[in-house]
């Protein structure tokens, strides 16, 4: 789900074809004053679609969709299409011809329509490595190439995230794992798509530390923010400290030091939270994550500043969180988050909460009223605070449907 400055929205999803066991890529476009376009299949390949990512430049409305799709038994390729606000869906393009299967991908795009895709793929060294490709409106997609050269057997580079600044500069972060350790690595490309040398960003600290999933965001000035889950076991203690950490990027370089977003949650078992991070054009940020006690936490930060105290948007509960939080933030630092949680009936319900700087977080509010399962919420929000919430829900007699709700900020 993505929404631009004019209130135009795009939504993509996987859809199981009738009488088949194959997921296809489908999408719909929304225009203010109109309605959602008829759902449309966006690719014509025979293999099943797996992982979908969307990136949008909110000011221009230009967007890129990337996805992995089965090409042969056990092997996935990476595809992409452009979305132009005036002409709609573009044609699919294959981004790589390496031969090894693709893991996960990420993409970013600038106001001129230049896009960068970064992904993990098994390469000639028979290990997952990090590749990138760049798109320009004049030349289309270029040639895929490695952006790191650690070809050590037993080392896995994966889970890449990339953002693109308004200037066209790209910043990527990924996790490097050996089976017994994990660290975060980074690389950057200039506006021409020329990548520098990869460098370690967050080192592994040994057996008393575990690094989890990460998220990456960027503002209009090219300042980026990285957040990740981490668990630490202080020496001589049996209490793990589970927290979300952050690090800033400004003036073309990562800043020194790292810091926790909020005080750690302690327990005898390590727990790795998965943060979801968003920034507005001015650099204000909001991050949300689930905790081991099933609380849904959130914290905000002014441009260039540390995060304020975390707030339990959903207090600790015996019923589990059923999804990652969906999240959006506008130019006045108002935020929306949505999530699904178990309801004790064997299914899950959808809830949302709103944040205003002068008031803090409001109480969670239900967003649907059925007993059937709601799943995989996502939020697209523009700088004026207008948003679209989309989710998947089962309906008796109709099957699984894609539902949306629009939020108007009144601005």
Q: Residues 44-85: pLDDT tens digits?
A: 999 999 999 999 999 999 999 999 999 988 899 999 999 999
pLDDT at 154: 86
pLDDT at 151: 79
Of all residues in the chain, the percent with pLDDT exceeding 90 is: 91
pLDDT reading at 129 higher than 90: yes
Strand-pairing partners, residue 59, are none
pLDDT at 8: 98
11 part of a folded domain: no
Cα–Cα dist 128/121, whole Å = 5
**Contact by Cβ (8 Å): 340, 284:** no
164 and 258 housed in the same domain? no
188 and 74 housed in the same domain? yes
**Contact by Cβ (8 Å): 15, 21:** no
410 part of a folded domain: yes
243 and 293 housed in the same domain? yes
**Contact by Cβ (8 Å): 183, 211:** yes
Continuous H helices in 250-307: none
Cα–Cα dist 157/185, whole Å = 9
Cα–Cα dist 180/230, whole Å = 15
What phi and psi, each to the nearest 5 degrees, are found at residue 225? -140, 135
219 part of a folded domain: yes
- Name the most confidently modeled range: 119-128, 230-239, 375-384: 375-384
For the chain, what is the mean pLDDT?
97
pLDDT reading at 21 higher than 90: no
Which among 204, 235, 266 is the end of a domain? Answer: 204
Q: Where are the beta strands (DSSP E) in 17-111?
A: 23-30, 40-41, 49-56, 63-72, 75-84, 88-89, 93-94, 102-109
55 and 149 housed in the same domain? yes
Strand-pairing partners, residue 342, are 348
Nearest to 119 by CA among 76, 78, 153, 171: 78
List the Cα angle 183/186/188 in 5-degree steps. 180
Cα–Cα dist 260/290, whole Å = 15
172 and 241 housed in the same domain? no
Cα–Cα dist 130/104, whole Å = 10
**Contact by Cβ (8 Å): 239, 267:** yes
168 and 230 housed in the same domain? no
Q: How many CB atoms lie within 10 A of CB 244?
A: 29
User: What's the token pair of residue 191?
Assistant: 């506006």
285 and 242 housed in the same domain? yes
Q: Each residue of 314-355: pLDDT tens digit? A: 999 999 999 999 999 999 999 999 999 999 999 999 999 999
State the DSSP string of 350-365. EEEEEEETTTEE---E
13 part of a folded domain: no
pLDDT at 206: 85
Domain count, the chain: 2
CATH of the domain at 274: 2.120.10.10
53 and 75 housed in the same domain? yes
222 and 308 housed in the same domain? yes
234 and 359 housed in the same domain? yes
7 part of a folded domain: no
14 part of a folded domain: no
299 and 363 housed in the same domain? yes
Cα–Cα dist 41/50, whole Å = 15
pLDDT category at 153 given cuts 50, 70, 90 is confident
Tell me how far apart the 2 most distant CA atoms of the chain are, in Å: 63
pLDDT reading at 18 higher than 90: no
Strand-pairing partners, residue 336, are 328, 354
96 and 181 housed in the same domain? yes
Which among 204, 222, 239 is the end of a domain? Answer: 204
Mean pLDDT, residues 171-181: 94
pLDDT reading at 220 higher than 90: yes
pLDDT at 123: 86
Cα–Cα dist 276/88, whole Å = 28
Which among 143, 177, 204 is the end of a domain? Answer: 204
User: What's the token pair of residue 302?
Assistant: 């002014």
Range of the domain at 234: 210-411
């Amino acid at each position: 789900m993505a929404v631009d400055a004019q209130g135009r929205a795009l939504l993509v999803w996987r859809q199981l074809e009738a009488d088949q066991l194959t997921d296809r890529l489908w999408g719909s476009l929304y225009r203010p004053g109109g309605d959602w376009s008829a759902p449309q299949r966006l690719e014509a390949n025979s293999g099943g679609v797996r992982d979908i990512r969307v990136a949008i430049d909110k000011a221009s409305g230009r967007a890129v969709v990337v996805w992995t799709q089965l090409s042969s038994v056990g092997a996935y390729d990476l595809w992409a299409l452009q979305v132009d606000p005036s002409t709609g869906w573009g044609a699919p393009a294959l981004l790589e011809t390496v031969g090894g299967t693709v893991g996960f991908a990420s993409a970013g795009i600038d106001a001129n329509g230049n896009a960068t895709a970064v992904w993990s793929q098994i390469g000639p060294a028979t290990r997952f490595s990090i590749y990138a490709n760049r798109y320009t409106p004049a030349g289309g997609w270029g040639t895929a190439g490695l952006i790191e050269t650690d070809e050590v057997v037993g080392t896995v580079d994966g889970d890449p995230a990339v953002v693109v600044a308004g200037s066209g500069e790209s910043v990527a972060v990924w996790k490097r794992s050996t089976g017994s350790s994990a660290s975060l690595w980074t690389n950057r490309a200039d506006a021409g798509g020329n990548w520098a040398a990869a460098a370690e960003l967050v080192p592994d600290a040994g057996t008393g530390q575990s690094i989890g999933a990460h998220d990456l965001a960027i503002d209009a000035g090219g300042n980026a923010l990285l957040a990740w889950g981490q668990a630490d076991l202080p020496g001589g203690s049996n209490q793990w400290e589970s927290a979300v950490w952050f690090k800033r990027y400004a003036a073309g370089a990562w800043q020194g030091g790292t810091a926790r977003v909020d005080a750690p949650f302690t327990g005898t078992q390590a727990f790795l939270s998965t943060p979801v991070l968003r920034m507005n054009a001015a650099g204000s940020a909001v991050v949300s994550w689930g905790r081991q006690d099933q609380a849904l936490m959130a914290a905000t930060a002014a441009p260039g500043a540390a995060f304020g105290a975390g707030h339990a948007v959903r207090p600790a509960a015996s019923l589990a969180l059923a999804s990652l939080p969906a999240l959006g933030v506008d130019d006045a630092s108002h935020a929306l988050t949505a999530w699904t949680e178990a309801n004790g009936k064997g299914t899950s319900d959808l809830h949302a909460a709103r944040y205003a700087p002068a008031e803090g977080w409001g109480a969670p509010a239900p967003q649907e009223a059925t007993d059937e399962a709601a799943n995989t919420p996502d939020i697209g929000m523009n700088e004026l605070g207008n948003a679209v919430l989309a989710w998947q829900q089962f309906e008796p007699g109709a099957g699984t449907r894609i539902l949306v709700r629009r939020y108007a900020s009144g601005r």
